Amino acid sequence: MAKFKSYGNWIHWPIGDALRWRMQFGCSIEQAVKELCLLMRQEPKDFQRDLFVTGVFVRSHPARPVDWNFPPREFLITPSRLAPGAPHLGRTPGDHWDDLEPVVDADEQPTNALRWVSVKLIAWKHVECDQDRLIIAWMPLIEKSVGADQAASLSPPIAKSIDKDNKRARRDRAINDVLDRLENPPRPDLPWGRFREEVCRAAGYDLSANPPPKLPRGYGPRTIQDRTREIIAEGKQ
């Protein structure tokens, strides 16, 4: 098995990006989902003890209602770009994965939402995990499918740059993610400056970090503002 070091800090990884990364190595979406569900259902071992995903709980299964206070509130830092204390934010229980699958977009690509397989209703949205921990847990399954030699050539930096050639798409997904959390466009609910901070955070760049991250092109205040207006206009067409 390839050996990778998992650092203590979280590397936010939307579940859709994680599945697309796995699919780059000769894997269908069905197989990627099957493997992910297997990892999330099994009992945690050693390096997997912190392997879990977080998300915003949308609805319980009609046949399996949950208590009003589900999911339990998270008091510790979790791999989520949402603000601590966000309504219905919590860990997705392992036993839920028996009946979960990702929602796919118009291009049949996985998104960051999960739905109940049996009733086709959205169950979780804004689903994320920690990148390093998931990659480490995934490696044995990848080795079985592509061989140890090719698996050994993989490393977390590859996953960290999964959108390197498609930065605009990553930024646009971040904008849509933030818009999805707002009932209305940025003004007057959220000033443009704060909106840009939320977009950067959704894309994996926390501007409150010290030192602040180096932003790629396309994240300037005016660029974010103009592109957001375009996305809102496109949504109204």
105 and 175 assigned to the same domain: no
Whether 86 maps to a domain, the answer reads: yes
Last residue of a domain, one of 160, 181, 200: 160
58 and 105 assigned to the same domain: yes
100 and 74 assigned to the same domain: yes
Instruction: Give the pLDDT confidence of 190-231 residue by residue, as tens digits.
Output: 688 888 988 888 887 888 888 888 888 889 999 998 888 888
Instruction: Give the pLDDT confidence of 104-140 residue by residue, as tens digits.
Output: 988 888 999 999 999 999 999 989 888 877 887 888 8
35 and 70 assigned to the same domain: yes
189 and 94 assigned to the same domain: no
Q: At what angle do helices 29-41 and 131-146 cross, to 10 degrees?
A: 120
Instruction: Give the pLDDT confidence of 81-108 residue by residue, as tens digits.
Output: 776 667 888 888 888 888 999 999 888 8
Whether 6 maps to a domain, the answer reads: no
pLDDT for residue 103: 92
Whether 4 maps to a domain, the answer reads: no
111 and 177 assigned to the same domain: no
66 and 175 assigned to the same domain: no
Q: Which residue has the higher pLDDT, 174 or 189?
A: 174
* Residue-averaged pLDDT of the chain: 76
pLDDT for residue 116: 94
Whether 203 maps to a domain, the answer reads: yes
Q: Which residue has the higher pLDDT, 143 or 81?
A: 143
Whether 45 maps to a domain, the answer reads: yes
Instruction: Give the pLDDT confidence of 146-186 residue by residue, as tens digits.
Output: 776 666 665 444 444 444 435 777 788 788 878 877 755 55
Whether 71 maps to a domain, the answer reads: yes
Q: What 3-state class would DSSP assign to 100?
A: strand
- Structural domain of residue 76, as residue ranges? 12-160
47 and 154 assigned to the same domain: yes
Q: Which residue has the higher pLDDT, 98 or 71?
A: 98
Q: How many CA atoms lie within 13 A of 192 on its CB side?
A: 11
Q: Which residue has the higher pLDDT, 155 or 26?
A: 26
Whether 131 maps to a domain, the answer reads: yes
114 and 184 assigned to the same domain: no
Give the separation between CA 125 and CA 67, rounded to whole angstroms.
19
| Domain count of the fold of the chain | 2
Last residue of a domain, one of 125, 142, 160: 160
206 and 182 assigned to the same domain: yes
97 and 113 assigned to the same domain: yes
pLDDT for residue 151: 62
Produce one character per residue of 160-169: b if its CB has 16 or more CB atoms within 10 Å, e if not.
bebbeeeeee
Q: What 3-state class would DSSP assign to 126?
A: strand
